[in-house]
C-alpha cells in the first residue's frame, strides 16, 4: 500500500492537524471516514479551502459541509529530497503538489505514488486518505491511471 510511504506516522515529532478545531472538525471527521467534504457558503455557494468561519467571497457566516468530487489537476509539484520535518526523514524523497480541485479550490498535499522528479503539471489526481494515527487521517493525492 502506498499509505506505508508515510512512515513518519505515529512519530511523536510528526506535526498533526488539530482535528478538534471547531472550524475544521467536520473536514477531519469526514476524512477519518474516507469521505471528502468541503465548506460551501450558504449565502453565495462558494466552495472554499481552507476551512474558515467567514466566506472569503461574500463574508457570509453560514456554511454547510458537502461531499465533493475527489478529483483534481496538479498545478505544480515539488520533490522533497530533505525532510521538511524530522518525522518525514524516512519518506525522502517525497512529492508535494498544489492541486486545483474539481470542486474549485486549490489544496496542497502529498502525492503518495508520484515518481520523483517527474513533471506533474496538468496531471490528474484523486484524493486519497492517509490514516496516520487512530484519530487522524490526512488527505493526500494519488495519480489517476
Say whether residue 32 binds Zn ion (CB under 5 A). no
Q: Establish if 17 lies at the interface with Zn ion (CB under 5 A).
A: no
Whose cell is 508515510? That residue is 6
Q: Where are the alpha helices (DSSP H) in the chain?
A: 25-32
Contact stretch for Zn ion (CB under 5 A) within 14-22, 37-45, 92-100, 131-139:
37-45
Name the residue nearer to Zn ion (CB basis): 20 or 44. 44
42 binds Zn ion (CB under 5 A): no
Q: Rule CB under 5 A: is residue 55 a binding residue for Zn ion? A: yes
Q: Are strands 63-67 and 71-80 parallel, antiparallel or unpaired?
A: unpaired
Q: Are 90 and 99 in contact (CB under 8 A)?
A: no
Residues in the chain: 145
DSSP state of 19: T
Least separation in angstroms between residue 42's CB and Zn ion is 8
What residues make contact with Zn ion under the rule CB under 5 A? 41, 43-44, 46, 55, 57-58, 60
Amino acid at each position: 500500500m502506498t499509505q506505508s510511504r508515510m512512515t513518519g506516522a505515529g512519530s511523536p515529532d510528526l506535526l498533526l492537524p488539530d482535528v478538534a478545531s471547531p472550524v475544521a472538525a467536520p473536514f477531519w471527521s469526514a476524512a477519518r471516514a474516507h469521505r471528502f467534504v468541503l465548506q460551501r457558503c450558504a449565502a453565495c455557494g462558494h466552495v472554499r479551502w481552507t476551512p474558515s468561519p467567514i466566506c472569503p467571497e461574500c463574508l457570509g457566516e453560514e456554511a454547510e459541509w458537502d461531499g465533493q468530487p475527489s478529483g483534481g489537476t496538479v498545478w505544480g509539484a515539488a520533490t522533497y529530497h530533505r525532510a521538511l520535518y524530522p518525522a518525514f526523514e524516512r519518506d525522502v524523497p517525497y512529492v508535494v503538489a498544489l492541486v486545483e480541485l474539481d470542486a474549485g479550490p486549490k489544496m496542497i498535499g502529498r502525492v503518495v505514488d508520484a515518481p520523483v522528479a517527474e513533471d506533474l503539471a496538468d496531471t490528474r489526481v484523486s484524493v486519497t486518505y492517509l490514516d496516520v494515527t487512530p484519530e487522524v487521517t490526512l488527505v493526500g493525492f494519488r495519480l489517476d491511471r
